[in-house]
Chains A and B, each alone.
Chain A
């Protein structure tokens, strides 16, 4: 059986491609230095002075939400689930369009002129909820981001064919260092400017690579091979054995809503827009990219599957016979496939595009969680002791600290078999509670502080959707490995997620009715 090193080594990546990647990296660092001169206040640093218009809004929203980790987990999903995984992209696009048309949650938040989501909690439910919500958001967010660095670096190693055992570590450290540099320097202004450049490189790279995949494998041939190897389960997401099913589709529908209306990095873009009309247009047009950001990588994963199945050595490496050794991580399938079929120059452009995707996601996430820790945890606790300049400095310190923390997580936490499901569960720690707080706070007058605390606490239970956490808890309680496996099959991540959503909503409603706010009056703002 071929080893991972041998499989990775066979790539078309050359010095010309390294040159293209280098030019792009120098450009990103230059933007960080250039943007630093425009940072005057915390508002400039976190929401770019609220001066962003529609086209730039679409570019930066796409740049942020189409990260390299998205490309990696989607390709893995396409590799394992086939075309049936497309339903996730379609649902995502339709819900982004719905948010754009209705402005659900996002326009009302923009009207509030808050810097972060927990800041809204503070206005609506009080300082205690702001701090609690801020901690929950940062905890879930940083945990969620923990796998970004490793998954992204695996792409770079896979496509460039790096041989050294230390390659993955070196790539992680270098990429993180670059992102930290320009995020610390220019905050949201440099994030928006680099996002624009990244959008241009990324979008044309995606289209070109997809056309080349089809050219190389043949349009009909791709479908024929998938039909022959997997049958209906690779096309019908609700068919038995597809790996999805109705509860999974329902969970994806909720995640689609969350990705647009609740996920802090997406909401940060809405808060940076110059008007509510711009917010709506931004989401309406971005619905195309919300769908494509999943569909194109699924397709690459499917193409990688077709490629692997037609090369006996690779088929054996990714799908070894029982007892013939350990299978290569399926995350490597797509980059290895692209490394073999794309020509010199194009492969450099695509790698630059993927590094662009990596950096645009990391910078936004780092800035988002650090802004929350400054604005919603440190500021309410320190009060007037924290000046505007002190807040910018503290945000920069948090950016570096979170960066180092995710590097640590990359080293100690084993990468899960299905990265997308890991991310959905860790994200749910924050967004299940946030959905109840925002929807009720903005649209339901009786929503109270008591209800908000119940909903946030209920949201934290989503962590039990992670198989590793289920195993740990049940293991401590004395359950056997077989019993833990049975439990995991019954309480799958999507079922735990949906149950947590229901629990958080119930907590908000029951908590608000049983513990109404003392100062409730009829003219209280609900949005």
Chain B
């Protein structure tokens, strides 16, 4: 049972750490991507008109 307890403890710690880092990165770069998407859609609408 010790193996499983150690495995799930490690899973939780590593998972939460990795997720926090990912969340910070996605929050920053995602904001830039939102801007890019809206510009792309606006340009494609202008071309369509």
Q: Which residues of A does B touch, CB under 8 Å?
A: 38, 40-41, 44, 48-49, 51-59, 62, 83-84, 86, 89-90, 93, 189, 192-193, 196, 199-200, 203-204, 206-207, 210, 223, 227, 231-232, 235-236, 285, 288-289, 291-292, 295-296, 299
* Contacting residues, chain B, for A292 (C-beta < 8 A): 15-16, 18-19
Asked if A223 contacts B15 (CB within 8 A), the reply is no
Given contact pairs A83-B4, A299-B12, A289 touches B41 in the complex (Cβ within 8 A)? no
* CB-defined contacts of A90 to chain B, threshold 8 Å: 11
Q: A207-B19, A235-B4, A236-B4 are in contact. Are A55 and B29 (CB under 8 A)?
A: yes
| Contact among A58, A236, A299 with B30 in the assembled complex (CB-CB below 8 Å) | A58
Q: A44-B41, A83-B8, A295-B12 are in contact. Are A55 and B1 (CB under 8 A)?
A: no
Tell me the bound Cα distance from A41 to B5 in angstroms. Answer: 53
Q: How far is the CA of A44 from the CA of B37 in the complex (A)?
A: 11
Instruction: Report which of A40, A58, A295 forms a contact with B22, defined as CB distance below 8 A.
Output: A58
Contact across chains for A291 and B15 when beta carbons are under 8 A apart: yes
| Contact between B22 and A288, CB atoms less than 8 A apart | yes
Can you list 28 residue pairs at the A/B interface with Cβ under 8 Å? Answer: A40-B41, A44-B41, A48-B37, A51-B37, A54-B29, A55-B28, A55-B29, A57-B33, A58-B22, A62-B26, A86-B8, A89-B15, A192-B37, A199-B30, A200-B23, A200-B30, A203-B23, A203-B26, A231-B1, A235-B8, A288-B15, A288-B18, A292-B16, A295-B11, A295-B12, A295-B15, A296-B15, A296-B19
Residue from B20, B31, B38 within 8 A of A38 (CB atoms)? B38
Q: Please determine whether A199 and B26 come into contact, CB atoms closer than 8 angstroms.
A: yes
B36→A40 contact, CB < 8 A: no
**Cα separation A47 to B33 with both chains bound (whole Å):** 15
The answer to whether A48 touches B19, judged by C-beta atoms less than 8 angstroms apart, is: no
Total B residues in contact with A, Cβ cutoff 8 Å: 33
Q: In the complex the two chains form, what is the Cα distance from A219 to B13 in whole Å?
A: 11
Q: How far is the CA of A350 from the CA of B20 in the complex (A)?
A: 16
Given known A83-B8, A196-B34, contact A210–B16 (CB-CB < 8 A): yes
Interface pair A207/B32, CB less than 8 Å apart? no
| 9 closest residue pairs by CB, A with B | A55-B29, A56-B33, A203-B23, A235-B4, A51-B40, A55-B30, A83-B8, A53-B33, A38-B41
Determine whether the beta carbon of A86 is less than 8 Å from that of B22: no
CB distance from B9 to the nearest CB of A (A): 7
Could you tell me the distance between the alpha carbons of A291 and B19 in the complex, rounded to whole angstroms? 9
B interface majority secondary structure:
helix
Assess the A289–B22 pair: CB atoms within 8 A: yes
Bound form: Cα–Cα A236–B15 in Å = 19
A196 vs B22: C-alpha distance in the bound complex, in angstroms?
A: 13
Known: A204-B23, A295-B11. A189 touches B33 (CB 8 A): no
- With contacts A40-B41, A210-B16 known, what are 13 further pairs, Cβ within 8 A? A38-B42, A51-B37, A51-B41, A83-B8, A84-B4, A86-B11, A193-B34, A196-B30, A199-B27, A207-B19, A223-B5, A289-B22, A296-B15
Chain A residues with CB below 8 A from B20, complex form: 203, 207
List residues of chain A with CB within 8 A of the CB of B18. 288, 292
Inter-chain CA distance A285–B26, complex, in Å, is 10
Q: Are B42 and A55 within 8 A (Cβ)?
A: no
| Chain A residues whose CB sits within 8 angstroms of the CB of B38 once the complex forms | 38
* Contact of A235 with B33 in the complex, beta carbons under 8 Å: no
* Contact residues in A for B22 (Cβ distance below 8 Å): 58, 203, 285, 288-289
Known: A203-B19, A295-B12. A235 touches B36 (CB 8 A): no
Output the least CB separation between B20 and chain A (Å). Answer: 5
Q: How far is the CB of A179 from chain B (nearest CB, A)?
A: 20
Query: In the complex, what residues of B have CB within 8 A of residue A57's CB?
Result: 33
Residue of A nearest to B2 (CB): A235
B28 neighbours in A (Cβ, 8 Å): 55
**A274 and B13 alpha carbons, distance in the complex (Å):** 34
Q: Given A40-B48, A232-B1, A235-B4, are A51 and B19 also a contact pair (CB < 8 Å)?
A: no
Give the chain B neighbours of A49 by CB distance below 8 A: 40-41, 44
Return A293 CB to nearest CB of chain B, in Å.
9
- For residue A301, give the distance in angstroms from its CB to the closest CB of chain B: 13
Measured CB to CB, the closest approach of chain A to B38, in angstroms, equals 7
Residues of A within 8 A of B11 (CB): 86, 89-90, 295
* Bound CA–CA A315/B24 (angstroms): 39
Residues of B within 8 A of A291 (CB): 15
What separation, in Å, do the CA atoms of A90 and B44 have in the docked complex?
A: 41
Q: Is the CB of B19 within 8 A of A288?
A: yes
- Whole-angstrom CA separation of A53 from B38 in the bound complex: 12
* CA of A374 to CA of B33, assembled, Å: 29
Contact check, A55 vs B44: say whether CB atoms are below 8 A apart.
no
Enumerate chain B residues within 8 angstroms of A223, measured Cβ to Cβ. Answer: 5, 9
